[in-house]
Amino acid sequence: MRILYLSRVRLNPYVDLLARGVEESDPGIQTQRRRTLSWSHILLDPRWRILHLHWIELQYAYGDAPHEEAARNLDSLLRKFARLQKQGRKIVYTVHNINHHEGQHADLNQRANAWIFRHADALHVHNAFTARQVAQLYDRTTGVHIIPHGNYIGVYPQEVPRRAARARLDVPEDHFVYLCLGQMRPYKGLDELIATFLQRRMPDATLLLAGHIPDPAYARQLKRLAGDYPNIRLFPGFVLPEEIQLYCNAADLCVLPYRDATTSGAALLAFSFGSPIIAPAIGPFPELIGANERGLLFHPRERDLGDVLVQARDLPLAEMSRAARAFAEARDWRTLGAQHARVYRELFRN
C-alpha cells in the first residue's frame, strides 16, 4: 500500500517523522510526500491509494495569496479531492488547526472545513478536546481517530549542557529562565507575556523569546515591548535546528501563553528536552500538563499568568522535568505510526 502525504510545511519535521514511523511499523506500506497536488498526480499515478492531508489552509492560501486566487485554488483543490475519491482512493485528514489563527480568508476556511470534515474518509486528531470540537462544530463522530502528537527526541542535536547554553546566550547562570520558542504570531500571546513579566519585576529572572516573526507590525510591537530591558532577550529570526538545544537547555521551563490552540507541537518539543511548561487552561493543555505533573496551567479569564510565573519558581523542577521527558518518550513515532497504519488498512477492509 502506498500513502501520499500532502503538506506545504517544510520547517516542521512532523510529516517526515510520521511517514518514517509508519514505514518502520508496517513494511507493507510505502510513503511519498508532495507539497501540492496536481491533476497529473491523480490521473497518471495510480500507485498511491490514500491521500493523507495536513494543513488544508496552506493548499489554497499559501503566503500572501489574494482572496480571489485563494478561492480559485480551493475550487480546484476540492474538485481534485472529489475526483480521487471517485477513483476509489481514500482521504485522511490530520486536524492540526480547526480555524486559521489569524482569521485569514475566514469564508474559505469555513468552506474547506465543511468539505473536509464531512467527506474525509478518516479524521486524525491529537487529543480528546479536538475530537469534541469536531463533533460539536461539524457533527462528525465516526471515523475520528485520536492518535497523540509524537515527540522530537533525537530530531535535534542535544550536546550543549545548561551552563554552556546560558553562556552562549549571555544569560546569567543564577537566573530563573522562562522560554518561549517558535514562530511568533499574535494568537500566541507573546505581547501579554512580555507585559506580565515586566509587571512582576523579577530582577533575578530572564525571559527568552526566540523565533521568526512573520508579521512586521507584530515584530515592531514585540521589539517595542521588550525595549532595552536586560532581562528580556528577544531573538527574532529563524532558529536553526542546532540552536534549539541552546534555548531549551538554558531554560528552566517553557511558557506557551496561547490565546487559541488545537494541538501543540511546541509542548512536545519542550517535553522532548525535559522542560515543563506553563500554558493556558484551554484546548489540549490540561491533558498535556496533567495534574500539575508536567507544568502549570493559568486561567486567561482570571488574568493570573503573572501569579503562575511566580509560582513556577518554587516547583520541583527536576521531578517535573523527568515527568515531561517520560511523557515525550511514550509518544515515539514508531508506536504512533503503527496506529496510523491500522487506520489506513481499516479503510480498505471496510
Q: Where are the domains of the chain?
A: 2-150+332-349, 162-329
Q: CATH homologous superfamily for 2-150+332-349? A: Glycogen Phosphorylase B; (3.40.50.2000)
- The reply to whether 2-150+332-349 and 162-329 are identical in fold is yes
Confidence of residue 30 (pLDDT cuts 50, 70, 90): very high
254: β partners: 179, 277
Instruction: Say if residue 179's pLDDT is above 70.
Output: yes
Instruction: Say if residue 101's pLDDT is above 90.
Output: no
Would you state the cell numbers that stand for residue 344, as one nine-digit string? 489506513
Which one-letter DSSP state was computed for residue 149? P
d(CA 88, CA 348): 10
Report, as an integer, the average pLDDT of 96-112: 87
The CATH fold assigned to 162-329 is Rossmann fold (3.40.50)
Confidence of residue 10 (pLDDT cuts 50, 70, 90): confident
Q: Which residues, 6 or more positions from 174, have their beta carbon under 8 angstroms from its beta carbon?
A: 204
**Geometric angle at alpha carbon 136, from 135 and 142, rounded to 5°:** 10
Confidence of residue 28 (pLDDT cuts 50, 70, 90): very high
Structure pTM?
0.94
Q: Are 180 and 279 in contact (CB under 8 A)?
A: no
Report, as an integer, the average pLDDT of 84-110: 90
Handedness of CA 140, 114, 337, 280 (dihedral sign): negative
What's the chain's Rg over C-alpha atoms? 21
Confidence of residue 302 (pLDDT cuts 50, 70, 90): confident
Report, as an integer, the average pLDDT of 175-186: 97
